[in-house]
A and B are shown apart, each in its own frame.
Chain A
Amino acid sequence: MTTASTSSYKLASAQDLFALTKPRVMTLVIFTAICGMLAAPGTIHPVIGFTAILAISLGAGASAALNQWYEHDIDAVMKRTASRPLPAGRMERETALHFGVGLSVFSVLLMGVAVNWLSAAILAFSIFFYAVVYTIWLKRSTPQNIVIGGAAGAFPPVIGWAAVTGDVTAMPVLLFAIIFFWTPPHFWALALFVNSDYSKAGIPMMPVVAGRQSTRRQAFAYSLILAISAIAPFTFGMTGSVYGIVAIVLSIAFVLLSLRVGLSKTEDPAAMSAEKHLFSFSIIYLFVLFGALVADRMVFA
């Protein structure tokens, strides 16, 4: 006869394992991966395309699980993350680690066997980049954490593209650049009005280390580079006018909102309407921009 222990009582529920994959963040990953796939020249069998998206989603979920395994101490002191399965004590740390590693291996093997090994290699690198380079190395050691770590989130459209074509050309590199340069203004806008939470956790976020004014100026500078990257595919003739017009209009709006943030002097998070507007708009910006890319490909294909 076996007697269950108090340790076993912490058996993670299916809901908590699912929560470990950060499903809300995954929607953006899945969306950009699908866009990368649909924007790529060529065709992919629907079953293989579905498998590629599944593998990318599992890889993103694995990265999130590994991130929460390592950051359980930080998550415990931040209000926004304190109710996650690990800091709330509903799951053993080892469970998150095993789940994350298992899911990583499975997602990469699935991608390699069913789709192609180039997309599997990029997926493996993106998991490594997020879990090791960003989570373990950069996040706690430099205020540039978001800038370099943002690269991990920029891989999905490249993987989607590589799943269809089996190679990586200038266009997926530009898609990578768009998400890469979008990340700093997006996250810094958030970090500006939830500054106290990050300070409490001891994370060297830019507003904590360099101050709010410097962060605002840098967010504006990145928005200019983002605008150039977003309009570049149209400028170089890689897309049609549908994408071109949307990219120009959206990027002008993004730069103007960032400029408002850059000129803002307020220190009260409750009064930071410019930062809140930029954060909300940045999410719409990425969805609409990538949607326009797919629409453009459909129109001009």
Chain B
Amino acid sequence: MNDSDGSKAAMSPEEQKVYQAKQKHRAAIMAGLLFFLVVLFYFITFVKINSSVS
């Protein structure tokens, strides 16, 4: 923990729960987005290679 963190008040257990739920939700969405981008880039690469071959 750094100095700037130390100067701020700690969260209550309820606030921490809300914070962690928010973090979990964001992480799940980020995982979904990354998976979507992997699939998208796969198809983009496929289309680009195909068009350059033909």
Spell out A's residues near B (CB within 8 Å): 2-9, 11, 13-14, 45, 47-48, 51, 54, 113-114
Residues of B contacting A7 with CB < 8 Å?
Answer: 8
Q: Is the pair A9, B15 in contact by a Cβ cutoff of 8 Å?
A: yes
Q: Is the pair B22, A47 in contact by a Cβ cutoff of 8 Å?
A: no
Can you list 30 A-B contacts with CB-CB less than 8 angstroms, sorted by A residue number? A2-B1, A3-B1, A3-B5, A4-B15, A4-B16, A4-B19, A5-B5, A5-B8, A5-B10, A5-B11, A6-B8, A6-B11, A8-B11, A9-B15, A11-B19, A11-B22, A11-B23, A11-B26, A13-B25, A13-B26, A14-B29, A45-B47, A45-B51, A47-B47, A48-B44, A48-B47, A51-B40, A51-B44, A54-B40, A114-B48
> How close is B1's CB to chain A, nearest CB, in angstroms?
6
Q: Is the pair B47, A6 in contact by a Cβ cutoff of 8 Å?
A: no
Residues of A contacting B9 with CB < 8 Å?
Answer: 5-6
Interface range on chain B (Cβ under 8 Å from partner): 20 to 34
**Across the two chains, which residue of chain B brings its CB closest to A45?**
B47
> How close is A11's CB to chain B, nearest CB, in angstroms?
5
Q: Is the pair A114, B44 in contact by a Cβ cutoff of 8 Å?
A: yes
The distance in angstroms between the C-alpha atoms of A45 and B46, with both chains bound, is 11
> How close is A83's CB to chain B, nearest CB, in angstroms?
19
Specify which of A3, A4, A6, A47 is in contact with B44 (CB 8 Å cutoff): A47
Given contacts A47-B44, A47-B47, contact A4 B29 (CB under 8 A): no
Q: Is the pair B19, A8 in contact by a Cβ cutoff of 8 Å?
A: yes
Residues of B contacting A114 with CB < 8 Å?
Answer: 44, 48
The distance in angstroms between the C-alpha atoms of A13 and B19, with both chains bound, is 9
The distance in angstroms between the C-alpha atoms of A6 and B6, with both chains bound, is 11
Residues of A contacting B51 with CB < 8 Å?
Answer: 45
**Across the two chains, which residue of chain B brings its CB closest to A16?**
B22
B1-43 contacts to A (CB < 8 Å): 1, 5, 8-11, 15-16, 18-19, 22-23, 25-26, 29, 40, 43
Known: A13-B26, A51-B40, A51-B44. 19 other contacts (CB 8 A): A2-B1, A3-B10, A4-B10, A4-B11, A4-B15, A4-B16, A4-B19, A5-B8, A6-B8, A7-B8, A9-B11, A9-B15, A11-B26, A13-B25, A45-B47, A47-B46, A54-B40, A113-B44, A114-B44
**Across the two chains, which residue of chain A brings its CB closest to B16?**
A4
